[in-house]
Each structure stands twice: as C-alpha cells, then as structure tokens.
Amino acid sequence: MTRKEEAMNRERFAELLAAYGADFRRWPAETRADAATFAAQDAEASALIAEARELDSLLDEARSMPTPSADLAERILASAPRMQRPSFDRRAVLALAACAVFGVVIGYSGGLLAPPAVAEDDGYFSMAFEAPTAFEDEG
C-alpha cells in the first residue's frame, strides 16, 4: 500500500464526498484513483455514495438554463474594440492625392511659362531668310 492510498481513509473519503458529491470526476484529480479503490474496498462507501448521489440528482434537476436572448451576443460584440484603419493607408492616399494635385499644377504652370513654340519658329525662319546685309557691306 502506497502512502497516497494510506491517506485515503473513511474520514477523508467522507469529507471529499460531502464537498464534491458522488461523481469522482468533480473530485481533486489526485484523489480520484484512490477514491475509486477505497470505494471498491470499503463496505460503507457505497451507502455514503448513494446518499451524496441523491443530492447530486436533485441539483441536476436545476442544471438546464434558459437560452440567453438571441441578441445578447450581438449587443456585446457591438461594444467590442474596433480595428483602427492603419494610419499609413490614410497617409498613402493623401500622398497620392497631393502628387496628383502637384502634377496638375506643375503641368499647368509649365504650359504658361514656356515660350510659345510658334513665335520661336518664326524667329528662326526670319533669321534664315533675312538678306545677308553684313557681307554686302564688307565686300
């Protein structure tokens, strides 16, 4: 007989039965095997167990519970923390928008500042077809 089995005597068995009832699954894990062994060997154990089982059965009559309201879980979840949109997303959108605006502005202002292409071409044409007056003077 081990020390653990020695520790399970009628007094301790009755204490555990009084606290946890007749179902050994509710007993402290370390006592279950010893309790089963003791119950199988002790002449009075079965009467004690039957007495405890009577109360267990009555308690089990009150085990079932009405189903909670259908919307209770929804109400609870509605108050749960929400994922915040990552801030880089908004920055990226803003940056893209800024780029687009900047591009439009640059494009527009570049068009205004650049010299008119037609006037420049006209100048080259006039230089090309102008009479070479300087050569005439030298000669």
Partner 1 sequence: MIDPDGELVRNAGAGDQRAAEALVRRHLPKMVGVARRMLNDGAEAEDVAQEVFLRVWREAPRWQPGQAKFETWMHRVALNLCYDRLRRRREKTDPDAGLAVADSRPLASEEWLARQRAAKVHEALAKLPDRQRAAIALVHFDELSNIAAAEILEISVEALESLLARGRRALKAALAGVAQDLLGGAEGGAP
- Is residue 111 part of the contact set for partner 1 (CB under 8 A)? no
Half-sphere exposure of 28 (CA within 13 A, CB side): 9
CB of 87 to partner 1, least distance (A): 14
At which residue do the structure tokens 């908004």 appear?
90
The one segment of 21-29, 97-105, 120-128, 129-137 that binds partner 1 by CB under 8 A: 21-29
Is residue 103 a contact point for partner 1 (CB under 8 A)?
A: no
Tell me which of 6, 11, 25, 112 binds partner 1, using CB under 8 A.
25
CB 1 within 8 A of CB 8: no
Residues 6+ apart with CB under 8 A from 46: 39
Report the C-alpha gap between 121 and 96 in whole angstroms: 38
Q: Are 6 and 38 in contact (CB under 8 A)?
A: no
Q: Find the shortest distance in angstroms from Cβ 41 to partner 1.
A: 23
Give contact residues for partner 1 (rule: CB under 8 A): 15-16, 18-21, 25-29, 52, 55-56, 58-59, 61-66, 68-69, 72-73, 75-77, 79-84
